[in-house]
Amino acid sequence: MINSIALSLLLGFELSYYLLIIQTGIVAHYNSDLITLFPMFAGGVLGTVFAGKPWIIYNKAVHKIIFALSLQLLLSFLYPNYNFFTLALLGVAVGMMAPLGIYLFKAKQKTELLFALAIAYTVGTYSFTSAIDTRLDLAIGVSFIALLSAIILRNYKVDTDTKNVAYTFRAYLPLMLWILLDSNLFETISRHVGLDIWSEYTYTIITFHILGLLAASKINTTISTQHKVIALLFVTSYTMSYLESSTLLAIVYPFTISYYNIIVFTFLSKELSLARLSLIMIFVGWIASGLGLALALSHLLH
């Protein structure tokens, strides 16, 4: 029981950190200047690769997580003012957590995953409208909770027997597409003054995040069918955004995010090799989300 709770808290608050401190905190603080932010993205890729490599000592995944979260907590005290070096180090810490956090989960741990994402979307949505430059305590707090959870899990062993053999790279392409579309739409909406859904529909968004998680965890069908459902949800979300229908967007978009993320995390958690998962996360995570941000800034899709 204690391990299940710690797993949910670890992933939930680390995802909250990424959303509130990295994606909508530091990126917004530097006005989405990709040149200024490049050290963080480069550090993120380096950290993701580093997480999958064998270490001389403390080679267990949870030991690597404790190291990454310790570094993240220390760097959080500098928020939001970073230089080239500290941005790169923060990228390394967060980049390491991308594959490691997912690797801890077994494919059948849907309850723990559901609670983790519920924590992330509740905390993230509720705190989304807080002033960007006043999130120092938030950065320290969520990092501390995630680190404490990792310390509780210090003797936790990943049951690799429950994981599947490696998928082909082609199988991960739809996941990259969903993350790219989400990143683009999220960045576009968050910059649109007329579509400030997080301020006006906070509790509606939280509710439909939870409903999306429940729907995805309860529906038992093929991955092909799931991808078709996700595609339809994204088409609807983009349509509501184009029509600037705030109410309907606040309903369908959070449902879409939660639904597809359950599918993505469950799929990724089946990967047997941490080294291969790290390589995949470079494409599924950093490249896909980076392209989504670049598309949002260029206004090519929306």
Range of the domain at 214: 162-298
pLDDT(192) > 80? no
- Cα distances (angstroms) measured from residue 213 to each of 27, 113, 118, 252: 27, 9, 8, 13
Same domain, 263 and 273: yes
116's CB contacts (< 8 A; 6+ apart) are 7, 8, 9, 10, 11, 12, 15
Three-class SS of residue 300? Answer: coil
Same domain, 29 and 152: yes
Same domain, 192 and 262: yes
pLDDT(143) > 70? yes
Q: Counting Cβ atoms within 10 Å, is residue 264 exposed (0-12), middle (13-18) or buried (19+)?
A: buried
Band (pLDDT 50/70/90 cuts) for residue 234 is very high
Same domain, 269 and 167: yes
Q: What is the pLDDT of residues 37-53, one digit of tens each?
A: 999 999 999 999 999 88
194's CB contacts (< 8 A; 6+ apart) are 244, 246
Partners of 164 in the beta sheet? 271
> End of a domain among 142, 160, 178?
160
Same domain, 95 and 131: yes
> End of a domain among 113, 145, 160?
160
pLDDT of residue 105: 82
Same domain, 145 and 167: no
19's CB contacts (< 8 A; 6+ apart) are 120, 124, 128
Same domain, 18 and 166: no
Number of structural domains, the chain?
A: 2
Contact (Cβ atoms closer than 8 angstroms) between residue 238 and residue 185: yes
Q: What is the pLDDT of residues 84-137, one digit of tens each?
A: 999 999 999 999 999 999 988 876 678 889 999 999 999 999 998 899 999 999
What does the pLDDT average to over 182-210?
A: 88
- Residue 21 maps to which CATH number? 1.20.1250.20
Mean pLDDT for all residues in the chain? 90
Contact (Cβ atoms closer than 8 angstroms) between residue 289 and residue 282: no
Contact (Cβ atoms closer than 8 angstroms) between residue 54 and residue 68: no
pLDDT of residue 273: 85
Band (pLDDT 50/70/90 cuts) for residue 163 is low
> End of a domain among 138, 160, 182?
160
